Structure 1
Amino acid sequence: MTSGDGASAPQAPERWVDVASTAVGAAACAVLLLVGAFAGRPDVAVLGAAPLVVTAWHLLRRPSGLVRAAVVAGEEGPGGTLSAAVVLDAPAGTAAVTVDVLRHDRPVVHALVRTPGSRRLPLLARTVRTGPQEVATVQVQGVGPGLVSVSDPAPRATRRTVVLPAAGSLPDVPLPPRLRGLTGAHGSRRPGEGGDLRDVHPFGPGDRLRRIDWRVTARRAPDLRELWVRREHALAEAVVVLVVDSRDEVGPDPLTWRGSQPPRPQDATSLDRARQAAAAVARAFLDRGDRVGLDDLGVRRRPLPPGAGDASSTGSGTPWR
């Protein structure tokens, strides 16, 4: 699969705000301090003064700057696994960072991560779909010392990729009735060299001397007045054009067929099956040295002309770069 980074949202103002519970707790501590001072109860005043001093100390050490997050490519994983990494960059003094991971606008992970500066978190996602899709969307928020302040939520970081279909192996593939390539690995109907025996024919213009069959000549023309040559079928290659229509895509749930709602992300669609079948057929023909082309009826562009190449390029890994 090939990859691409999602567009970053506009950066929010870099500010930290107090937690609502902090203000409530500070007010309660201030009331205890005043009650203890006016009532002559130092023990009550200490109960209110100590938390108030600690809260003020943490507020003075409140970080400045916004927590940053980015989703970058990770190591290649097995089929159906999308690998990435979340890179966190927190300003000095940040106690922790809340990390929310979403896929298809649905929350999947919520974690509180301690970040002494920068940190890299592995991220794995599984998919049964192919084509362009979202790996993950990450939103983070910083937590100040003593959990008395939080930062504004950082802009969302998104990673998108193109998942290539897995090319399965086929034991055998059909061949067209007429092979077009001049040379190849399959027997054709036209006369040539390298294939199975076609017939034995009297020597004529265009025949090569090395094609003379001396045994047949000695049997049919003992006086050597006529020479006989062996003619063979030429070896040729198949030229295959795969046709895929990407305009329609339906899932296994009939409720999604009318188009009012998209197929569920956890269900493979008809287009996913078509891509996998096309990749398997292309790999089978390429392994035999044939040429394969592609025409997508749902895209307004020229078809991919038939060509040969490495079968691994039909898609069995997840290239990110």
Structure 2
Amino acid sequence: MTRVLTPAPMGGIGAGILLLGAALAFGRVELAVTGVVLLVAVAAALPGGAAAEPVLTAERGGGEPVPDGSVRIPVTLTVDAADAETILVTTTQLQHRVRRVAVSGPVARIPMGIRSPHTGDQELLAADATAIGPDGAWTAPAPDRTRLTARLQPRAVALPFLPLSRDPAGLTGAHDAARPGDGGEFRDIHPFAPGDRLQRIDWKATARLARRPGDLFVRRAFATSDLDVALILDDRDDVTGRVGDWARGDRALGLPGSMDVAREAAWSLACGYLDVGDQVAFQLLSRPSTAVRRGSGARHRERLRAAIAGASPQPRLTRTRTPLVARGALIILLSTFLDDETVRLAGVWRAAGHRVLAVDTLPQLRTERLRREEMAASRMVLGLRADRLRDLAAMGADVLVWDGDAGSRAAALRGISGPRRRR
């Protein structure tokens, strides 16, 4: 450990020498005694020999959800600095909250709680420690800054209604398909044909509808099918609801961003469809190589959780390649719709016959404290965005605003879910 002498011991040494010189010049014994005592006190406070470096470690516990949607994470800092009388710890929480704490040494434990409105990969804490010797004679900073990072998981919101594709293509599942088969709801009464089961003969309908001897009628049901769901997340930008920060490129770290809203929406929808046995795929628009292929089950759920929690913003410089999706899949496009590329992709999918659910992930807007030019620019940007949402609705896509009141979101889901189906 590199120990740096502070001005205090240097001043003490200088004062002691000055007092001894004055005692010799004036023949004053008391000045000599005071000078000797002062020099001995400084010598006792100075470090002797090599010493170990301060060791700073950080440990975190499990996150505790807060009613406003954020997460409180307990963190414990442990500092071990040999021979230190006081330890000064400087922490930076979530890259913007600076806190300084002075604790008595040589070993100290500092508990704290970090409240984060964000999900995904986050730097929760960065900490520096400086050991201070007895009487402030020396200081010794820790050689390296300690950083604590974590991947915070998005929460899953319970969804009472789930949109379905027009014609589920799976062979079996929890949804009614358009074709006749087994397991679904009543479809119609049909004349007996080769291949029909005898157990399906409806004797009451036969007695009512038969026109000649030998006519038989059977009850037909819809086949059941699972659903192919493709979650497409637009990772172009990560903006908060504070419009004034968009032009400056300064993201307000204390507010949830559009990527936080998108992760919550993607994970909630993925859990809703996986719970009923549907096949769910996930892909980022800017990074097709990170796509998670469609699947179901517990292992696939964990793969989706890791992919969604690890999604981060990635600026797009070129036109996006249209992601490949299964035939007849329900496409859920999560975006802020601040550019035209997502609208173009939705048009391509609608032309191919897919049902498209456009999930608006822009946080609730805050337009206070805007200058006149910023207000004019925000009106233009938000006006173009409103035009894109109207274009999506005109091409037949369903639009769902995610960030907002839970009751409004449930009502919107009920309206676009077609036949009502509770989970």
Specify whether residues 284 and 105 from structure 1 end up closer, same or farther in structure 2 by C-alpha distance, changes over 3 A only: closer
Residue 277 of structure 1, CA deviation: 1.7
Task: Give, as a single letter, the amino acid of the residue that structure 2 aligns with 1:156.
Answer: R
CA contact (8 A) 1:61 1:145 kept: no
**2:266 aligned partner:** 278
What is the distance in 2 between the residues matched to 1:29 and 1:212?
Answer: 114
Residue 3 (structure 1) aligns with = none
SS in 2 for 1:278: helix
Is the CA contact 1:218–1:224 (under 8 Å) kept in the aligned structure 2? Answer: no
Q: CA RMSD in A?
A: 2.7
After superposition, the C-alpha distances for 1:129-156 in whole angstroms (9 at most, x for unaligned) are 2222211111111122332111144211
Corresponding residue of 1:309: 297
Structure 2 CA distance for partners of 1:298 and 1:96, relative to 1, 3 Å: same
Query: d(CA) in 2 for partners of 1:287 and 1:17?
Result: 61
Deviates more, 1:97-106 or 1:267-276: 97-106
Per the alignment, residue 188 of structure 2 pairs with 199
User: Greater share of strand residues, 1 or 2?
Assistant: 1
AA of the residue aligned to 1:136 = L
The 3-state SS of whatever aligns with 2:46 is: helix
1:204-251 Cα shifts (integer Å, max 9, x gaps): 121112212222223344986122211101122222111111012222
Q: CA deviation at 1:299?
A: 1.4
Question: Where does structure 2 lack aligned partners over 5 or more consecutive residues?
Answer: 310-423
What are the equivalent positions in structure 2 for 1:97-112 lying under 5 Å apart? 97-103=87-93, 105-106=95-96, 108-112=98-102
Where do residues 14-53 of structure 1 align in structure 2 (5 Å cutoff)? 14-53=1-40
User: Which of 297, 305, 310 is matched with 2:285 structurally?
Assistant: 297
Distance across 1 between alignment mates of 2:95 and 2:214: 87
Kept in 2, the 8 Å contact 1:182–1:235? The answer is yes
Greater Cα offset, 133-142 or 281-290 = 281-290
| CA distance in structure 2 between the aligned counterparts of 1:189 and 1:96, rounded to whole angstroms | 75
User: How far is 1:21 from its partner?
Assistant: 2.0
Gaps of 5+ in 1: 1-13
Partner in structure 2 of residue 113 of structure 1: 103
1:213-232 pair list within 5 angstroms: 213-221=202-210, 225-232=214-221
**Which of 211, 222, 227 does residue 233 from structure 1 map onto?**
222
Matched AA of 1:272: D
Matches within 5 A, 1:106-255: 106=96, 108-117=98-107, 119-221=108-210, 225-255=214-244
Aligned partners of 1:16 and 1:151 also within 8 Å? yes
| 1:191 Cα deviation after fit | 0.6
Structure with more helix by fraction: 2
Q: Distance in 2 between matches of 1:106 and 1:231?
A: 64
Match of 1:196, as an amino acid? E
Are residue 81 (structure 1) and residue 72 (structure 2) matched?
yes
Q: Which has the larger radius of gyration?
A: 1
Residue 68 of structure 1: aligned partner: 55
Determine if the alignment matches structure 1 residue 59 to structure 2 residue 50.
Answer: no
Question: CA separation in 1, counterparts of 2:128 and 2:155?
Answer: 31
Per-residue displacement from partner, 1:85-127 (whole Å, max 9, x unpaired)?
A: 3232323x2223211101355462111222335x443342122
* Secondary structure of the structure 2 residue equivalent to 1:264: coil
1:274 partner amino acid? A
SS in 2 for 1:195: strand
Change (3 A) 1:275 1:105: closer
Partner-residue secondary structure (3-state), 2:20: helix
Q: Which residue identity lines up with residue 215 of structure 2 in the other structure?
A: E
Q: Aligned partners of 1:166 and 1:242: how far apart in 2?
A: 17
Residue equivalent to 1:90 = 81
Structure 1 length normalisation: TM-score?
0.83
Aligned residues: 301
TM-score norm. by structure 2 comes to 0.64
Supply the distance in 2 between the matched residues of 1:94 and 1:246 (Cα, whole angstroms): 48
Q: Which amino acid in 2 is paired with 1:217? A: T
Cα contact 1:16–1:63 (8 A) shared by 2: no
Q: Deviations over 1:147-197 (max 9, x none)?
A: 211114421111222222222122212111111222222222111111111
Contact 2:60 2:74 in 1 (8 A): yes
Which structure ranks higher in relative contact order (CA pairs < 8 Å, sequence separation ≥ 6)? Answer: 1
Asked whether the equivalents of residues 231 and 282 of structure 2 are also in contact (C-alpha less than 8 Å), the reply is yes
